[in-house]
Amino acid sequence: MRVNLTVNGEKMSADDVWEGESLLYALRERLGLPGAKNACEQGECGSCTVYLDDVPVCACLVAVGQAEGRSVVTVEGLAEGETLDEVQQAFVECGAVQCGFCTPGLIVQAHSLIASSPGIPEDAEIREALAGNLCRCTGYEKILDAVRLAAARKAAS
């Protein structure tokens, strides 16, 4: 089957897609977008988080056929050309990246939180928003620092 969708603002299609194939597999293997990571394939770790019609979802749990005609934004699509998104930049500046496997999902989820918050979210709100994203390398403090920094920059602009 053929699936047509808009990914990071660009109309794309994937051919010979198996009907039960995940959106994650299609993004990585068929469309060449390796940002969302394949870790648990059960929606438990958040490493594959992408936006589907502006809602963060675990791409491993979405059948690619469900994305037909819809809009997907991956971590790659948050940047504008070579300019990183404010959340991506904050993760770099705060050293919130270690092995990097969880980072794309954390960035998308943090981006969603900041976009929906009128000001700077409290630590409890940040922790709640990121609760579905697992990182096995850090103590999460630098991740929280990065989210706080990005939120502060957004609030100041």
Contact 24, 39 (CB under 8 A): no
Cα 1 to Cα 22: distance, rounded to the nearest angstrom: 13
Residues of the chain with CATH 3.10.20.30: 3-76
CATH architecture of the region 3-76: Roll (3.10)
Residue 90 in this model has a pLDDT that exceeds 80: yes
Give the model's pLDDT for residue 27.
Answer: 98
pLDDT tens, residue by residue, 44-63: 999 999 999 999 999 999 99
Taking the whole predicted model, whether its pTM rises above 0.75 is answered as yes
Beta strand 71-73 with 10-14 is unpaired
Buried residues in 37-56 as b, exposed as e (16+ CB within 10 A): bbbeeeeebbbbbbbbeeeb
Whose tokens are 């989820």? That residue is 109
pLDDT tens, residue by residue, 107-147: 999 999 999 999 899 999 999 999 999 998 878 999 999 99
| Averaged confidence pLDDT in the chain | 96
Cα 76 to Cα 81: distance, rounded to the nearest angstrom: 9
Residues of the chain with CATH 1.10.150.120: 86-156
Determine the average pLDDT of the residues in 102-107.
97
The CATH homologous superfamily of the domain defined by 86-156: [2Fe-2S]-binding domain (1.10.150.120)
The separation between CA 91 and the C-alpha centre of its own chain, rounded to angstroms, equals 13
